[in-house]
Amino acid sequence: MNCKEVNELLLDYVEGNLPPYLKNELKTHLENCIRCQKILALTELENSLLKDTSDIPELDEEFTRQVMKKIALLPAPLPQRAVIKKFISTLAALAACLLVAFMLHYAPWTPDKENNIKDVRMAMDPKGTAYLSKADSLKSQEGAKYFHEDTSSKISAPAPKEGEAFSAASTGDNSTVYSGGKEEVKMSSAKSGQKINPENYSVITDIKIAGLPADYVLQTSRQIDENRVQYVYTNHNQNTITIEISLPYAEDKMAAKNFMSADTLQEKSSQTISLTDVKSLEDKAYKVTITADLPAEELNQLLSSIELVKN
């Protein structure tokens, strides 16, 4: 082995990538060659210095705070491409089946037979990955399957029969697609960080809080389960105000009111407290719970300033 050959192998030697026979040959050469010994020393030094980041200052806590502050203002993350990829084969099969079904039984596809379904909402699934984009491509045909296709998701569902609710299942992700009314399924997509219009609360489109402290912004609004929606507000210190609205606590608002006769003051921790009240909208009662790290009096004021806003 000559110096040139040794030189070519020095890096592998230093990094332990050489097979034993080459390693031995190289060692033998190195024992007798001062030049190559020096190149070896330089290579080892370079390796150690390239790993050395001691000259780079570290980022402080303020950096993290700035990032967290900025993401609070960002729109929700985009759809989950990675999951979609996994479903491509499923989707292709589904699309083929639907096509065949249409061709055999319902052909030709006539857009004028679209019913008045405007959109389908996929409620937040437990993993929080549900989404659905534009509504305008939702097409349907009586008795056929609804098929919504866009770049990010696909859903399919049997057409609702008279008097039945629309229900659908998504193949675009693992979320549940919630059903709507028989006349018009008017829903919206629900994803983390975006305002939702839960069908279970069809009359509520938003909540208004008159006394919300100035630096709190809406961070997430999501449906926790079919009975509860949650709005989370945070400020730059990452303090949070959580407002949870539950399904009509009782059919009769009075009954609910009696049960909740006194605002429940619950000690969640030494600082965080929850207050609950019942608010009505369109003859329905909703249980509204607010949780925050604020003095009880301030929280109570906030709670009383919450207004459910109708569609």
Partner 1 sequence: MLSDETLVLRLRDGEITAFEELVNRYKNKVFALVYRMVGDYQEAEDITQEVFLNIYTKINQFDSEKKFAPWLYRIATNTAISHLRKNKNRNHLNFDEVFSGLYSSLQASWDVVDPLLNMERVELKEEINKALSKLPENYRIIILLRYQLELNNQEIAQILNLKKENVEVKVHRARKALRKILEEQQTGKGVKHEL
Number of residues that bind partner 1 (CB under 8 A): 51
Q: Shortest Cβ distance from residue 75 to partner 1 (Å)?
A: 8
Q: Which is nearer to partner 1, 185 or 229 (CB)?
A: 229
β-sheet bridge partners, residue 267: 273
Residues 16-45 that bind partner 1 (CB under 8 A): 17, 35, 38-39, 41-42, 45
Q: Which residue, 71 or 203, has its beta carbon nearer to partner 1?
A: 71
| Among 273, 285, 244, 121, residue whose Cα is nearest residue 191 | 121
> By CB under 8 A, is residue 90 in contact with partner 1?
no
**Cα–Cα distance list, 166 to 63, 143, 152 (Å):** 48, 12, 22
Peptide bond before residue 295 is cis, with ω within 30 degrees of 0: no
Distances (CA, A) of 67 to 63, 169, 215: 6, 36, 16
In order of 135, 200, 249, the CA distances from 276 in angstroms are 36, 20, 12
Distance CA 263, CA 56 (A): 55
- One symbol per residue from 95 to 134: x for binding partner 1 (CB under 8 A), - otherwise; what is it? -------------------------------xxxx-----
**Residues 197-226 contacting partner 1, CB under 8 A:** 219-220, 222
Whole-number CA gyration radius for the chain: 31
The least distance separating partner 1 from the CB of residue 56, rounded to whole angstroms, comes to 5
Q: In sequence order, what are the beta bridge partners of 158? A: 145
Among 2, 19, 21, 50, binds partner 1 (CB under 8 A): 50
From the list 80-88, 142-150, 201-209, 284-292, the region that binds partner 1 by CB under 8 A is 80-88
Contact footprint for partner 1 (CB under 8 A): 4, 7, 11, 17, 35, 38-39, 41-42, 45-47, 49-53, 55-59, 63-64, 66-68, 70-72, 74-75, 77-83, 85, 126-129, 192, 219-220, 222, 232, 234, 238
